[in-house]
Amino acid sequence: MEEIKKTCCSGDLFWPALVMGASLVVATAVGGGIFYKSKQLSNVLSVTGSAEQLVTSDTVKWQSAISRSVDATGLKEGSSQIKNDQKIVGDYLKNSGVQDSEITFSPVTVSPVCESQNNIIYDKFGNQSCGSNRTVGYNLQQVITVESQKVPEVTKISQTASDYFIGQGLVFTTQSLEYYYNKLADLRLDLLSRATVDAKARAQKIAESTGKQIDSLQEASMGVFQVTAKNSVEVSDYGSYDTASLEKKVTGVVRVSFSLK
C-alpha cells in the first residue's frame, strides 16, 4: 500500500494531474458563463415600430430658363435679347402674383458653338472654349428660380407660362418643379413617439404568444425617414425625399429591445 501511495503522489504525475484538474474547472466556468449569457439573450425581444403621416407640400420651387443663340459676331445682340426676355418674364410673374423676393435671376451663362462640336475644351471650372477650333456662335442662357409658399398659384403659373412666353417670341423651358414640406423637424418627433408606441404594442403581442410579458426597455435606435409620394411603396436604406409630388407620405421607423419576464 505504501508503494502504491508513493507512486500516485510522485513528482512525475502530480503536476499533470493538477493542470488537468484546473482545466476542468475553467471549462466548467466558461461553459456556465455561455449558458448564463444565452439564457439572458433569450429574455430580450427586439422589434421594429413604424408610423406614417400624409402631408401636403407647403413650398414650391420652380426652375425655368430663357435662352438665345447668336452667331460669332452677335454676342452683344444676344445679351440685349436676354435682358429684354428677362423683363418680359419678370413682369409676367409679378402680374401673376409672384413677389420680387420670390424670384431669382441667375447670371447669364455663355457657351461657344464650335465649328466641330467634337473638339470642345473644358477648363477646371467647366467653362467651354473652342481652343484652336473656330467659334461659329454662342448660346446664352439664364435660369429663373421661383421659390414660394403659394404652392397652388405657382403650380398653375408653371403650367401656363410656356405658352405665353412662346407667343412673345421667347425661347423658354421649364427645368424642374419641386415640392417641399418645411415642418419635417416637428413631424419627426411626433412620428418617433408614435413609432415607439407601435413597437411596444408589437412586442407585447409577440411576448404574449410565448407566455411572457415585456419588462424594461433595453435599447432604442432611430431608423431612416422616408418621404415618398402619397401612394408609393418605395423604401431606401439611406432614406428618401420625394420632391416631385405635392402630396407626400412621411414614414418614421424605430428599433427597440425589451427585456422579458
| Per-residue confidence band for 26, with pLDDT thresholds at 50, 70 and 90 | very low
In the chain, list all ranges with CATH 3.30.110.170.
41-56+183-260
CATH number of 41-56+183-260: 3.30.110.170
DSSP element (H, E) containing 188? helix 184-209
In the chain, list all ranges with CATH 3.30.70.
59-180
For residues 183 and 96, give the distance between their C-alpha atoms in angstroms, rounded to a whole number.
Answer: 27
Residue 198: count of CB within 10 angstroms of its CB: 19
Percent of the chain scored above 70 by pLDDT?
80
Strand 226-229 relative to strand 240-241, pairing: parallel
Dihedral angle computed from the Cα positions of residues 54, 59, 63 and 64, in that order, rounded to the nearest 10 degrees: 100
From the number of C-beta atoms within 10 Å of its C-beta (0-12, 13-18, 19+), residue 60 rates as: buried
pLDDT higher than threshold 50 for residue 259: yes
For residue 97, what is the DSSP state?
T
| For range 193-209, the mean pLDDT | 94
Q: Which CATH number fits domain 59-180: 3.10.620, 3.30.67, 3.30.70, 2.40.50?
A: 3.30.70
The pLDDT score that the predictor gives to residue 31 is 41
Q: What's the chain's average pLDDT? A: 84
The pLDDT score that the predictor gives to residue 235 is 79
Distance in angstroms between the alpha carbons of the first and the last residue of the chain: 58
The pLDDT score that the predictor gives to residue 210 is 87
Query: Among 221, 255, 215, which residue's Cα sits nearest to residue 43?
Result: 215
C-alpha cell at 151: 404652392
At 111-168, the pLDDT tens digits run 988 887 666 776 666 677 777 778 899 999 999 999 999 999 999 999 999 999 999 9
Strand partners, 70: 138
